[in-house]
Structure 1
């Protein structure tokens, strides 16, 4: 419906409106979560032009037009789209394991950028200075959130994993302030609770870090510090986000290397003493 309206009315658009139309036809997802001012600045046109364009297509202003854009985007972000694509792909029948390895190698090769590194360095500084650090992720993203929490918890005592169903998340965040830091991890399809909780944290003036797949995801557009962990379009994998999380853990640990190593050693000795780990040297009967 959205694209059909543009194509059907294209010849009746003004030159400025055609600039807007051409952009939407080539990369409409970029405006899905932008305000009318942000979208107009992106195209170097006036907000009034964006409004008139929305009305020209039959919408009652920009908000209704944007909902139509978001609806089109939502249809593309169907759950497990990458997994479905991999299963349906007839070209990876011979050696699925090698194909998966090769795709993930390419993801890692294309993941690094100066933009990502600058935000990565900023995140490390925020972690070191934060009073409390909260981590939140739902559904498939929860496994990465828990892993991140588990690794940092080995040598830090101010790490809190937020989970639905364990008390109320908003109760746990009631006293957060600008001295705290919250990590939000989410990938398509983005969960409503994650976006709403991010908005709540911003209302409390708490610094937010959004780890997500794209600069135009709702996390990246709204978080104070976005970290982009690109995914392959052909495989559903968390190899990029796990790489970033591991790098964050190592970088934070290096900030006070001697203390970190000592805490890791003490933790290992305690768990060994309590018999948490299987003793391979124990004699068999």
Structure 2
């Protein structure tokens, strides 16, 4: 996952990472914003915004805006999303559909294809795939497990929290791959898993809605998905689309095995169709 700016997250506080993340996600809006606007949306204090510039080696907001003129930072996804969102207040369904369409466009624009391909490579070659999917991502983990299991992939869910995580960690090996979902606040279990996986040289794939975080330094591959701003209802449409894309891409890589397992599944259905209800 490539950012517009080269943030050194090791030197940034949690608040400063939130500010950097906001800047990365709102490049097209920054020329029209002042420090008060940014502080209100992060949210944080104006003083924190002012201190942020020196922390990242920028004189002030004016210098940041000036540097944007030299970068190709136009974001058609954001611009189109803003247009589509200006619809009738009485059409809630239409508003939600247009917003989620915007999240998909934003994800497509910012998710690195190289990173996606690296994730597919790792998953299709893994001896076993482990999935850590806490909270709202639990359904995504189940979807990934259900679909890849049909392809004959050895895939297991890591318990969501606490010391149960260790029960899965003891079985990890360098031939495995771990897929982790980390949205908004990164769960401490994710950090523990990533640290241990790094020691083992076990590849990790993190799916996150953070453009700026320590995940970039601690994981093998990071896949960005847009779920809306911090203060909005967090949509799972884009994460689901990326998970489904991973499933299909892995299926292509192991096509012979996948098709053989699906055929075996169909044969079992035919054989016992009179004994088990559909």
TM-score in same-fold range (> 0.5)? yes
Aligned to 1:4: 47
Report the Cα distance in structure 2 between the residues aligned to 1:217 and 1:276, rounded to whole angstroms.
52
Q: For residue 167 of structure 1, report the CA deviation from its aligned partner.
A: 8.1
Aligned to 2:198: 202
Report the Cα distance in structure 2 between the residues aligned to 1:242 and 1:6, rounded to whole angstroms.
34
Report the Cα distance in structure 2 between the residues aligned to 1:235 and 1:274, rounded to whole angstroms.
43
Structure 1 residue 251 and structure 2 residue 249: aligned?
A: yes
Report the Cα distance in structure 2 between the residues aligned to 1:254 and 1:123, rounded to whole angstroms.
14
Structure 1 residue 22 and structure 2 residue 68: aligned?
A: no
Q: Which runs of 5+ in 1 are unaligned?
A: 28-90, 280-285
Q: For residue 202 of structure 1, report the CA deviation from its aligned partner.
A: 1.5
Structure 1 residue 141 and structure 2 residue 179: aligned?
A: no
Runs of 4 or more consecutive aligned structure 1 residues displaced over 4 Å after TM superposition: 16-21, 274-279
Larger Rg computed on CA atoms: 1
Report the Cα distance in structure 1 between the residues aligned to 2:237 and 2:127, rounded to whole angstroms.
29
Report the Cα distance in structure 2 between the residues aligned to 1:125 and 1:204, rounded to whole angstroms.
19
Q: For residue 99 of structure 1, report the CA deviation from its aligned partner.
A: 0.6
Structure 1 residue 111 and structure 2 residue 107: aligned?
A: yes
Aligned to 1:229: 225
Higher relative CO (Cα under 8 Å, sequence separation at least 6) belongs to 2
RMSD over equivalenced CA pairs, Å: 3.6
2:212 to 216, 220, 235: 216
Report the Cα distance in structure 2 between the residues aligned to 1:166 and 1:19, rounded to whole angstroms.
39
Q: For residue 26 of structure 1, report the CA deviation from its aligned partner.
A: 7.4
Q: Deviations over 1:7-53 (max 9, x none)?
A: 5x99xx9xx77945637x979xxxxxxxxxxxxxxxxxxxxxxxxxx
Report the Cα distance in structure 2 between the residues aligned to 1:117 and 1:180, rounded to whole angstroms.
22
Q: SS at 2:60's partner residue?
A: helix
* Alignment of structure 1 residues 63-102 onto 2, 5 Å: 93-102=89-98
Residue 136 to residue 99, structure 1, CA distance change in 2 (3 Å) = same
Report the Cα distance in structure 2 between the residues aligned to 1:5 and 1:248, rounded to whole angstroms.
39
Aligned to 1:123: 119
Q: SS at 1:144's partner residue?
A: helix
Q: For residue 274 of structure 1, report the CA deviation from its aligned partner.
A: 6.8
Q: Which runs of 5+ in 2 are unaligned?
A: 1-43, 66-86
Does the 8 Å contact 2:119/2:205 carry over to 1?
yes
Report the Cα distance in structure 2 between the residues aligned to 1:212 and 1:18, rounded to whole angstroms.
23
Q: SS at 1:112's partner residue?
A: helix
The structure that is helix-richer by fraction is: 1
Number of matched pairs: 212
